[in-house]
Structure 1
Amino acid sequence: MTHAYDAVVVAGGSARRLGGADKPALTVGGRSLLDRVLDACADAARTVVVGPRRPTSRPVDWVREQPPGGGPLAALDAGLRRTDHETVLVLSADLPFLTSATVRTLLDGATGATGTTGLDGDSEGDGDGNGERDGAIVDDGRDQPLLGAYRAESLRRELALIAAEHGSLAHLPLRLLTAELSLRRVAPVAPHEALDCDTWEDLAAARSRIREHGRVLNEWMTAVKAELGIDLDVDTALLLDLARDAAHGVTRPAAPLTTFLVGYAAARAGGSAEDVAAAARKAAELARRWAEEEKPGPDPEGR
């Protein structure tokens, strides 16, 4: 199911356990933590990032909480003021493995009626009496309010009540908000999607994980496409087979040069995934013919 939603990404904070480093700008797999989170919500109608301005891979709206460094409730309030859709996705900026699949699960949980499939369970409470909840958050053994989707009206209501009770939202804990909301608990599509980077050890583990066999190639391709501004589904196996054939049938340096020429030809043809596949097939057939010539031919004297 497709849902229209806005996204609020909380990218402030003092990162005390990181020695005050600019956490959202730290990189995993050569890309900033913030950009990785922005990829997961790329289809948001509007994306508001709460925190100091930084370079990002796609345009976003920037806003600062008041006062700057005022904590998560102040950040949520500032971000919500820039949104207008009924559903708001709320994310922290330190989730290197978050994907759109978990975002979709959260949106389904926030907008669906009780009993929606794929949900682990509900919190206490009966919603608004119509079987609806105030939102859905990831629970991977701990509640993660900054990895959730909410009804914007519910957030605004509770934030206003908390501000009235305490005189300000600054430096107040998130639990004051979530304790008053009826929330579904949702499991991430994969457990590692909920991993955050609060310490240098967390960051080192994420950087190591991204280089694991079976993951590194897809992560690298995703990073290159993002860096080059390419939105294209690439048949990685097809290109690897072509590179292998060029390397074995011609000479090893032919592999990277051939794949470069295939990309160039595909771009000239229109740049679609089909154009890439067609160019790769032609080059692979040429490599096959080239390799065939290396095989011993018939003995002209019949020996």
Structure 2
Amino acid sequence: MTTPEFDTVVLAGGRARRFGGADKPAAPVGGRPLLAWSAEAAAGARRLVIVGPPRPRLTPADAVVVREDPPGGGPVPALTAGLAEVRAPWTVLLAADLPFLRAAHVDGLLGAAVRHGVGAVLTDDDGRPQWLIGCWRTAALRTALTAYDGRSLHGLLDPLEPRTLSVPAGERPPPWYDCDTPESLERARALAERPDGRS
């Protein structure tokens, strides 16, 4: 199957309360900032849109950088801001703290989304959808946002009934692993240092 044209929106804003206000996307794992890992996983995108404050030293030169309104207002305003810059028929939506997500995972999501017709999301080992690792028909996202006045991505995206995609049991480090806390960041660093990806 020919890879469909897609743009990528990486949500890299937020207030990072659990990180004491530190710039989480700039935190290094495996010798690279978290933001760089997410951007590289979507390297096949026609357009990379990063939602968050300007980070000239971290942001790829060809990326489009926008801010959510209000800044730090949450994932739904951030998606709204990012989607305004999307031009492709498909949108890959990612968090900025996914050090083990790779292009092959994004390709798998794209294929599943196209077969489904609306969208696909990655699930964790317990089968829970990871709403910030997904691919969507751009028009479907725009329609959903127009009719939605809530604050959660679950409330926005779950009604679209996306296809769920899991990775092989035991794949380590897991591509859905995100760095929500200082403790999870330190564990990611430890995982990145081990060839087998196991703690």
Q: Structure 1 length as normaliser, TM-score?
A: 0.60
Percent of matched pairs sharing the same residue: 43
Paired position in structure 2 for 1:72: 75
Does the CA-based 8 Å contact 2:29-2:189 persist in structure 1? yes
Paired position in structure 1 for 2:160: 181
> Mapping of 1:7-156 within 5 angstroms?
7-54=8-55, 55-56=57-58, 58-59=60-61, 60-113=63-116, 132=117, 134-140=118-124, 141=126, 142-156=128-142
Paired position in structure 2 for 1:205: 187
Q: What's the C-alpha RMSD, in Å, of the aligned pairs?
A: 1.5
Unaligned runs of 5+ residues in structure 1 are 114-131, 216-303
Distance (whole Å) between structure 2 residues aligned to residue 85 and residue 176 of structure 1? 24
Q: How many pairs does the alignment contain?
A: 189
CA deviation vs aligned residue, 1:100-134 (integer Å, no higher than 9, x gap): 01000100011114xxxxxxxxxxxxxxxxxx3x2
Distance (whole Å) between structure 2 residues aligned to residue 208 and residue 179 of structure 1? 33
Does the CA-based 8 Å contact 2:26-2:58 persist in structure 1? no
Does the CA-based 8 Å contact 1:8-1:89 persist in structure 2? yes
Structure 1 residue identity aligned to 2:122: V
More strand by share: 2
Distance (whole Å) between structure 2 residues aligned to residue 39 and residue 175 of structure 1? 25
Unaligned runs of 5+ residues in structure 2 are none
Distance (whole Å) between structure 2 residues aligned to residue 7 and residue 40 of structure 1? 10
Distance (whole Å) between structure 2 residues aligned to residue 49 and residue 34 of structure 1? 9
Structure 2 residue identity aligned to 1:154: A
Structure 2 SS opposite 1:65:
coil
Q: Greater relative contact order: 1 or 2 (C-alpha under 8 angstroms, separation 6 or more)?
A: 2
More helix by share: 1
CA deviation vs aligned residue, 1:35-68 (integer Å, no higher than 9, x gap): 0111111110000000001123622100001111
Q: Structure 2 length as normaliser, TM-score?
A: 0.90
Q: Which has the larger radius of gyration?
A: 1
Q: Tell me which of 184, 194, 208 is aligned to 2:176.
A: 194
Q: Moved runs in structure 1, 4+ residues, more than 6 A?
A: none
Distance (whole Å) between structure 1 residues aligned to residue 91 and residue 42 of structure 2? 11
Structure 2 SS opposite 1:85:
coil
